[in-house]
């Protein structure tokens, strides 16, 4: 089944403890992206990647890192999480830029 | 950022009625996409309309695009309770070496049986 898989689904952590949210797609898509969704703010893009080893900042990249060493994986790294990074995170992929996105089921992160 | 803005923020209608949601944006776009989200789940793509298209249909969905007014509308005809969800527009833009697909804040649609 074609899908975008994010893990974990729920994560509660403490301030400053490094964490990684994994994202994997099995559709051979070139484009991948991370969004965060907050009440009243909609979805905001964190980082995106046009292809392997090519990543770029979105609208809200501060406090996040990404890597794209393989086509299928696009992990989101929070080196030192803070409470303002408590949010619902979505990974998405598409065959190429401009084409419709396939979304994962989301990761709800709470930082205390 | 040229985030799209949906209007209204919330809409409540009776089953069988039509629902219209609007999206406005600020600069030129490559295409505009509409998505649906059921409570806290991942977004699902509904329809894409390119900047040189004016209208598109898919089942009970009709999307229009007016690039002169920088606006789009999504019409859901003969709504059903199962259409209850949040709907987002997203504008695809490429320029100055970057590419962005930016989402609006969404319209929350409630269809009352």
CB contacts, 8 Å: B43 with chain A: 43, 90, 92, 101, 103
Q: What number of other Cβ atoms are within 10 A of residue B77's Cβ?
A: 14
Q: Give phi and psi for B82, each to the nearest 5.
A: -70, -10
Q: Work out the angle at residue B63's Cα, subtended by the Cα atoms of residues B98 and A100, and round it to the nearest 5 degrees.
A: 40
Q: Select the residue of A40, A106, A108 nearest B42 (Cβ to Cβ).
A: A106
The alpha carbons of chain B give a radius of gyration, in whole angstroms, of 14
Mean of the pLDDT values across residues B4-14?
90
Tell me, rounded to whole angstroms, the distance of Cα A78 from its chain centroid.
Answer: 11
Instruction: Name the token pair of A7.
Output: 């893990």
Q: Which of residues 28-67 of B touch A (CB under 8 A)?
A: 30-31, 33, 35, 40-45, 48
CA distance B30 to B92: 5
List residues bridging with A93 in a β-sheet: A32, A102
- Within 13 Å, how many C-alpha atoms sit on residue B2's CB side? 20
pLDDT of residue A2: 85
CA distance B105 to B113: 26
Q: List the one residue out of B19, B21, B18, B40 whose CA is nearest residue B32.
A: B21
Indicate if the pLDDT at residue B46 is higher than 70.
yes
Q: Select the residue of A44, A90, A108 nearest B42 (Cβ to Cβ).
A: A90
Query: What letters, b where the CB count within 10 A reaches 16 and e where it falls short, cover A7-24?
Result: eeeebebeeeeebebebb
Q: List the one residue out of B61, B83, B80, B82 whose CA is nearest residue B72.
A: B61
Q: Which of residues 22-81 of A touch B (CB under 8 A)?
A: 33, 35, 40-45, 48, 50, 56, 58-59
CA distance A95 to A46: 19
Q: How confident is the model at residue B3 (pLDDT cuts 50, 70, 90)?
A: low
Distance from CA of A16 to the nearest CA of B (A): 26
In a structure prediction context, what are the per-residue pLDDT tens digits for chain A, which is 112 residues long? 889 999 999 999 999 999 999 999 999 999 999 999 998 888 999 999 999 999 999 999 999 999 999 999 999 999 999 999 999 999 999 998 889 999 999 999 999 9
Return mean pLDDT, chain B.
92
User: Which of A38, A49, A98, A110 to mutate against chain B (most B CBs within 10 Å)?
Assistant: A98
pLDDT of residue B10: 94
Cis previous bond, B25, omega within 30 = no
Q: How confident is the model at residue B27 (pLDDT cuts 50, 70, 90)?
A: confident
CB contacts, 8 Å: A4 with chain B: 42
Indicate if the pLDDT at residue B76 is higher than 90.
yes
CA torsion, ordered B73, B86, A33, A62, to nearest 10 deg: 110
CA distance A4 to B110: 28
Q: Within chain B, how many helices (H) and strands (E) appear?
A: 0, 11
By CA distance, what is A100's nearest residue in B?
A: B45
């Amino acid at each position: 089944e074609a899908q975008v898989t994010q893990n974990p689904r729920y994560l509660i952590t403490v301030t400053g403890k490094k964490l990684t949210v994994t994202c994997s797609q099995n559709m051979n898509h070139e484009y991948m992206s991370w969004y965060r969704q907050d009440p009243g703010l909609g979805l905001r893009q964190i980082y995106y990647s046009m292809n392997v080893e090519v990543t770029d900042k979105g609208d809200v990249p501060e406090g996040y890192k990404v890597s794209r060493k393989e086509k299928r994986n696009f992990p989101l790294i929070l080196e030192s999480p803070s409470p303002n990074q408590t949010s619902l995170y979505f990974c998405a992929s598409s065959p190429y830029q401009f084409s419709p996105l396939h979304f994962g089921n989301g990761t709800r992160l709470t930082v205390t | 950022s040229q985030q799209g803005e949906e209007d209204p923020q919330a809409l409540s209608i009776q089953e069988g009625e039509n629902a219209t949601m609007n999206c406005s944006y600020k600069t030129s776009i490559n295409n505009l996409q509409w998505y649906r989200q059921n409570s806290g789940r991942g977004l699902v793509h509904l329809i894409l309309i390119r900047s040189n298209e004016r209208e598109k249909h898919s089942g009970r969905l009709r999307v229009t695009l007016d690039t002169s007014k920088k606006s789009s509308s999504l019409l859901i005809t003969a709504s059903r309770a199962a259409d209850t969800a949040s709907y987002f527009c997203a504008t695809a833009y490429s320029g100055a070496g970057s590419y962005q697909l930016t989402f609006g804040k969404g319209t929350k649609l409630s269809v009352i049986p």
